[in-house]
Amino acid sequence: MRKASWLGLVGLFLGLLLVVGCGGEPPKAAAPAELNVSAAVSMKDALGEIQQQYQKKNPNVKLVFNLGASGSLQKQIEQGAPADLFISAAPKQMDELQGKGLLQQQTRKNLLENKLVLIVPQSSSLTIKNFEELADPAVKRLAVGEPQVVPAGQYAQQVLKKLNLWEKLEERMVLAKDVRTVLTYVESGNADAGIVYKTDAAVSTKIKIIATAAAGSHQPIIYPAAILANSKQPKEAEAFLQYLLSPEAAKVFEKYGFTMGK
């Protein structure tokens, strides 16, 4: 009995050593994959909500957004800035990246559509009712995006040129680095009027919409999305792109005034 008890104690002691040896600190969870998304700043609010929804369901992915004017984002990508997915506010920037072989061309989708609107401060006393009346001398400062880099500015230029107003209004224009800056200029009263996307106007209580640009007065406002050729997280990028095209994401985009692409 004594021998058996002694052997039992030895076995128990060895078992405890084995448990302690195997226990230690629990293995660290793998760090989430970092997915870099360069996207038009006009998507800021919608993407903020989508980010919360997506990361809640996919804790293994960390979404990192780089928001700005599509032309500026294009240049950054061309210069090697880290980006797995690009969403532009116009086909032009995407076309140029595609022409340089910087996209996974087969992943390109028309994600969203938008509209262009004319806005003034909520307290404005201007009596203008449409784009044509921007020629009124009472409109001393008109805010638009810089057409070279801001798609909203390019669309605004198309509308004003069609109305033969671009050259007449150039001296009164305040050019902005992106469409959200245009919104800020009008909200603050630093511009008497501005031209932004319908979705930008929808997030502000400090402005009012005067008019919506007529169909055919500018190129269709299409937001294409595509995975970059040098993406370090192509699987995660593909999964997120598919989510952006899903009915769940569509509800968020439509909440902020976007229309899903065709």
Domain boundaries defined on the chain? 33-113+222-260, 116-212
pLDDT at 159 exceeding the cut of 60: yes
CA distance linking residue 22 with residue 51, whole number of Å: 38
Query: Is 33-113+222-260's fold the same as 116-212's?
Result: yes
> Rg of the chain over CA atoms, in angstroms?
27
pLDDT for the residue numbered 15: 52
pLDDT of residue 16: 47
Q: What pLDDT, on a 0 to 100 scale, did the predictor assign at position 31?
A: 82
- More confident call, 27 vs 255: 255
Would you call 249 exposed, middle or buried from its count of C-beta atoms within 10 A (0-12, 13-18, 19+)? Answer: buried
Average pLDDT over residues 127-156: 96
* 37-59 pLDDT per residue, tens: 999 999 999 999 999 999 999 99
Q: Considering only CA atoms, which of 208, 178, 186 is closest in space to residue 139? A: 186
In the beta sheet, which residues pair with residue 34? Answer: 62
* pLDDT given at position 88: 97
Residue 245 pLDDT greater than 80, yes or no: yes
Cβ atoms of 34 and 55 within 8 Å: the answer is no
Q: Answer whether residue 19 shows pLDDT above 50.
A: no
What pTM value is reported for the model? Answer: 0.83
Predicted pLDDT at 46: 97
Q: Which CATH superfamily is domain 33-113+222-260 in?
A: Periplasmic binding protein-like II (3.40.190.10)
Q: How far apart are the first and last CA of the chain?
A: 83
Give me the residues paired with residue 120 across strands.
Answer: 208
With respect to CATH, is domain 116-212 assigned 3.30.450.40? no
Give the largest Cα separation in the chain, rounded. 110
pLDDT tens per residue across span 168-204? 999 999 999 999 999 999 999 999 999 999 999 999 9
pLDDT above 90 for 10: no
What pLDDT, on a 0 to 100 scale, did the predictor assign at position 222?
96
pLDDT of residue 5: 52
Half-sphere exposure of 21 (CA within 13 A, CB side): 6
Assess contact for 177 and 147: CB atoms under 8 A.
Answer: no
User: CA-to-CA distance for 81 and 63, rounded, in angstroms?
Assistant: 16
Which carries the bigger pLDDT value, residue 163 or residue 9?
Answer: 163
Whether residue 28 is predicted with pLDDT greater than 80 in this model: the reply is no
